[in-house]
Amino acid sequence: MNTNVTKNSYVNAWIAEMAELVNPSDIVLVDGTEAQTEALRKAACECGDLIKLNEEKLPNCYLHRTAINDVARVEDRTFICTSKKEDAGNINNWMDPKECYEKLSKLYKNSYKGKTMYVIPYSMSVVGSDFAKYGIELTDSIYVVLNMIIMTRVGLNVLEALGDSADFIKGLHARAELSQENRYICHFPEDNTIWSVNSGYGGNVLLGKKCFALRIASYLGRKEGWMAEHMLILGVQTPDGEVKYITAAFPSACGKTNLAMLIPPEIYQKQGYKVWCVGDDIAWLRVGKDGRLWAVNPENGFFGVAPGTNEKSNPNALHTAMRDTIFTNVCHNLDDNTVWWEGLDNNPPTNALNWKGEVWDYRKYDKADKVNTSGAHPNSRFTAMAANCPCISDKFNDPAGVPVSAIVFGGRRAKTAPLVYQSRSWQNGTFVGSIMASETTAAAAGAVGVVRRDPMAMRPFVGYDMGDYWAHWLAMGKKLSNPPKIFHVNWFRTDDEGHFIWPGFGDNMRVLLWILARCEGKVDATETPIGYVPNVDDINIEGLDITKETLADLLSVDKALWLEDCAGIRQFYAQVGDRVPAELYDELKALEEKLSK
């Protein structure tokens, strides 16, 4: 078998070594051309990997179902394999690299037998740009190939840009048995290597995304002086035509895609406000020559949560996903060969298959057991092209990226966190990020709705020690002469019946405008122990079903609850361990003192 599929001897040698291990029947270089991509779609339909959907209603769209035990990222099976355990830190799972290679080699052995090895050359960020980093993923799954073609920049120009360099991330994926007990997502940051075995799901197998663009990239960023963050990037255009950029880090399934594609309420549209999406999940951040922080989105598409996406909550995402899209684990409407998910509309299909491919009766839906009774899996997704997004920013392909005015942290908190507050400084803002907590969601396997610490929304994605990661944040701040201001938001406070109080979605624009006004020093605020909170009159509630009293309540800071939270933060810091920067302990102490007064 010819393993010399590229002109790069490092790439070829590595392919030969991996082919020896997994033993494919042939090797195909993915070139990103429409002709090859179309042939792969056809092949995927023939082997049952994809179902072609209604060409008139959903042109060039496909449905895929994963194995029913393989529907989300698996954090307990995700490992950082550094030669020293302490470099992976206490929050990550760790395995000795040698031991891990040996263990996984047994699982990979002959796993491609009778199958094709696809070689995917891809770029994170615009090919040839300063920000760009290259990867090659080997996979036995056409579904992975077709998703990678949407999510990253795939093509022979990547190999040209790589030239004869050995500087690329080596990703090996095999579905193998899809066995849950032997599923491993392993990262070797010291070897630029990612090994993923026994899964066929999203974040576990689209190796450019969380594995490379966050775990490996965060490790590289610390070494090279930049940052890889779990952040959306958006631009707010004001009536005078100027655009200000905001990045926001929310944990998985906590609203990044929705905020990134926000449509302003009518009162703001009439004044000429617009929101542009640069990215919905990952930001790579560098210090610019001007002393500001600059952001690019290294991805090329969106792997968005389907449930809850509708004409009202996120019309831009919906329109983006109406063509050239791969749907994963949604409900299949057999009447017109389209797709459906909970929260799309109030007309569940009556002749349909659920996400498992079983005949589905919408009348049996039970909110308490969504996984077994819903049409679409709660973590079902659409893979759609950024280029198809109606509000994609004209800076999306700009190699320089965009200058960041504000960084926003946020999570799902039923109580404690107010609608919005501003930190006092970069150091204090880093502290605010480090103490983030959120209720868990269906994006990762495990219990849903449990509050856990999720610093900077990066708990599952930092490729090294969490304390070192916070120290890197502090160090980056020192390099910025004009740093972004740092805020925290919470769209998810609930009333006594468990209903969300804040309307959210497009109305989050009202909070973004306060944030930008603060950045420009145009609006006052009230100082509280946790930071600056808006004065009630400064968040516009015109046209909302919300009274000033409710807003005041949403902005309130309950000292007793916060003191309780501080105890949890101390515990978490202790768990992170020795490398928590002293500055963050200073911040924590100062907060406790202010709350105790």
What is the full DSSP assignment across 38-58? HHHHHHHHHTTS-EE--TTTS
Output the smallest distance, CB 273 to ligand GTP, in A: 18
- Please give the single-letter amino acid code of residue 38: E
φ and ψ at residue 487, rounded to 5 degrees? -125, 170
Which residues in 185-204 contact ligand SPV (CB under 6 A)? 202-203
What is the closest distance, in whole angstroms, from the C-beta atom of residue 362 to ligand GTP in the complex?
18
Exactly one of 254, 277, 331, 389 is catalytic; name it: 254
Min dist CB 343 to ligand SPV, Å, is 18
Positions that interact with ligand GTP (CB under 6 A): 250, 252-258, 280-281, 304-305, 307-308, 313, 443, 491-492, 500, 504-505, 508
Q: Which of Mn ion, ligand GTP, ligand SPV, none has residue 485 at its interface (CB below 5 to 8 Å by kind)? A: none
How far is 135 from 274, CA to CA, in rounded Å? 35
In whole angstroms, the minimum distance from the beta carbon of 223 to Mn ion comes to 23
Distance CA 311, CA 333 (A): 18
Burial class (CB in 10 A: 0-12, 13-18, 19+), 409: buried
Residue 281, interface with Mn ion (CB under 5 A)?
Answer: yes
Which residue in the shown chain puts its C-beta closest to Mn ion? Answer: 281
Smaller CB separation from Mn ion, 252 or 258 = 252
Q: How far is CA 392 from CA 68, 261, 589, 591, in A?
A: 34, 8, 43, 40
Window 468-507: contact mask with ligand SPV (x via CB under 6 A): ----------------------------------------
Query: For the chain, how are helix, strand and coil distributed in percent, rounded to 5?
Result: 35, 25, 45
258 binds, among ligand SPV, Mn ion, ligand GTP, none (CB under 5 to 8 A by kind): ligand GTP
Question: Which amino acid does the sequence have at 258?
Answer: N
Shortest gap between Cβ of 305 and ligand SPV (angstroms)? Answer: 8
Minimum CB distance to ligand SPV smaller for 285 or for 352: 285
Nearer residue to Mn ion within complex by CB, 61 or 214: 214
Shortest Å distance, C-beta 43 to ligand GTP:
28
Q: Work out how close the CB of 529 gets to ligand GTP at its nearest, in angstroms, rounded to a whole number.
A: 26
Question: What tokens does 2 get?
Answer: 């010819």
Q: Cβ of residue 309: shortest distance to ligand SPV, in angstroms?
A: 14
Q: Please tell me the distance from the alpha carbon of residue 341 to that of residue 354, in angstroms, as a whole number.
A: 9
Task: Give the max Cα distance, the chain.
Answer: 74
Cα-to-chain-centroid distance, residue 560:
33
Q: Are 143 and 40 in contact (CB under 8 A)?
A: no
Select the binding partner of residue 121 from ligand SPV, Mn ion, ligand GTP, none (C-beta < 5 to 8 A, by kind).
Answer: none
The residues, any chain, with a CB within 8 Å of residue 165's CB and separated by 6 or more, are: 8, 10
What is d(CA 249, CA 196) in angstroms, rounded to the nearest whole number? 26
- The listed partner (ligand GTP, Mn ion, ligand SPV, none) that binds 210, CB under 5 to 8 Å by sort, is ligand SPV
Identify the DSSP state of 491.
S
Q: Which residues pair with 437 in a beta bridge?
A: 453
The answer to whether the beta carbons of residues 451 and 489 sit under 8 Å apart is: no
Q: Name which of ligand SPV, Mn ion, ligand GTP, none residue 203 binds, using a CB cut-off of 5 to 8 Å depending on partner kind.
A: ligand SPV
186 is catalytic: no
Q: Which is nearer to Mn ion, 11 or 456 (CB)?
A: 456
Instruction: Quote the least distance from Cβ 252 to Mn ion, whole Å.
Output: 5
Output 215 or 485, the one with its CB closest to ligand SPV: 215
Q: Which is nearer to ligand GTP, 170 or 210 (CB)?
A: 210
Nearer to ligand SPV, 22 or 260 (CB): 260
End-to-end CA distance of the chain: 74
**Binding mask of the shown chain, residues 296 to 325, with x at each position contacting ligand SPV by CB under 6 A:** -------x----------------------
By the rule CB under 6 A, 252 interacts with ligand SPV: yes
Out of ligand GTP, ligand SPV, Mn ion, none, what residue 508 binds, judged by CB under 5 to 8 A for its kind, is: ligand GTP
Smaller CB separation from ligand SPV, 133 or 256: 256
Binding of ligand SPV at residue 573 (CB under 6 A)? Answer: no
Among the residue ranges 231-239, 280-288, 461-469, 541-549, the one whose residues contact Mn ion (CB under 5 A): 280-288
Secondary structure (H, E, C), 306-356: CCCCCCCCCHHHHHHCCCCCEEECCEEECCCCEEECCCCCCCCCCCEECCC
Among 209, 413, 459, 510, binds ligand SPV (CB under 6 A): 209
Give the helix ranges, DSSP H, for 182-300. 202-205, 217-224, 256-260, 266-271
Site for Mn ion in 244-273 (CB under 5 A): 252
Rule CB under 6 A: say whether 443 interacts with ligand SPV: yes
CA–CA separation, 490 and 259 (whole Å): 12
Residue whose CB is less far from ligand GTP, 92 or 258 = 258
- Closest to ligand SPV by CB, 134 vs 303, is 303
Span 325-354, contacts to ligand SPV by CB under 6 A: none
For the record, the structure tokens of 354 come out as 């659920």
- Integer Cα distance of 126 and 360 in angstroms: 43
For position 75 contacting Mn ion by CB under 5 A, the verdict is no
Please state, in angstroms and as integers, the Cα–Cα distance from residue 436 to each residue in 132, 417, 451, 470, following that order: 30, 9, 10, 13
**8 Å CB contact between 205 and 173:** yes
Choose among ligand SPV, ligand GTP, Mn ion, none what residue 202 binds, the Cβ cut-off being 5 to 8 Å by kind.
Answer: ligand SPV
Residues noted as catalytic:
254
Residues contributing to the site for ligand SPV (CB under 6 A)? 73, 202-203, 209-210, 252, 281, 303, 443
